[in-house]
Chains A and B, each alone.
Chain A
Amino acid sequence: AQSVTQLGSHVSVSEGALVLLRCNYSSSVPPYLFWYVQYPNQGLQLLLKYTTGATLVKGINGFEAEFKKSETSFHLTKPSAHMSDAAEYFCAVSDAGGYQKVTFGTGTKLQVIP
């Protein structure tokens, strides 16, 4: 079964600093990978996804993630944190091919310090 591990349930960064949220997946074959963001009292919103092709994926709000098969990782980064980035971020994985069940990580709560 697919699974993802998010390292760090809470991450704090200063405004303007690099954001790095870690995600490692467990899969015997290349999966599809996703990052979702959840703002307080809202549903999850898709930030970006990796399915096939380019391993560096750009998403909304300046976020990007790189699929590294050798490291089984899909870390989320943003060069400069904004106060509005404070939210909870979920990494998710599914089997390749579309219309597959998605398994979510436990989430990382990002705090941005002014």
Chain B
Amino acid sequence: SAVISQKPSRDICQRGTSLTIQCQVDSQVTMMFWYRQQPGQSLTLIATANQGSEATYESGFVIDKFPISRPNLTFSTLTVSNMSPEDSSIYLCSARDGPYEQYFGPGTRLTVT
């Protein structure tokens, strides 16, 4: 199994600023993902982070708003750019080391004021 850590665990940010969230996995994994979790709603996949290339974004999410990096097989970052209150959410990093099971980090709780 993989253990995932995220930094920061929570933050309060002002409108118009950007925040970069870091995700570290304790072992090499084949796939890494970023999700958004809002109360009362499903986890929503933002993008798949691809090692050494551009991330693959889901419908409704764009690189300019959510730039993602994955420089190696254990680390990824998600930046939430030009934030607005609508970006207030929990952001989850996830990883797979096989065909089925996904592991999740504890999440980053973001509040935009």
Contact = CB atoms under 8 A, between A and B. Distances in A.
B104 A45 contact: yes
B100 A43 contact: no
Interface residues of A, number: 23
Contact of A98 (B41, B100, B104): B100
B4 A43 contact: yes
B101 A104 contact: no
Given A44-B92, A51-B100, A99-B99, A90 B43 contact: yes
A32 B99 CA distance: 11
Contact of A102 (B92, B102, B107): B102
Given A43-B4, A43-B105, A43-B107, A104 B43 contact: yes
B96 interface: yes
Interface in A32-58: 32, 34, 36, 41-46, 49, 51
Most buried by A among B42, B99, B105: B42
Interface in A92-108: 97-99, 101-107
Interface residues of B, number: 20
A39 to B, nearest CB: 10
A99 B102 contact: no
Contacts, number: 46
Nearest to A3: B42
B31 interface: yes
A12 interface: no
A42 B106 contact: yes
B42 A105 contact: yes
A80 interface: no
B45 interface: yes
24 contacts: A32-B100, A34-B100, A41-B106, A42-B107, A43-B92, A43-B94, A43-B103, A43-B104, A43-B105, A43-B107, A44-B43, A45-B104, A46-B102, A46-B103, A49-B101, A51-B100, A90-B43, A97-B99, A98-B98, A99-B31, A99-B99, A102-B102, A104-B43, A106-B40
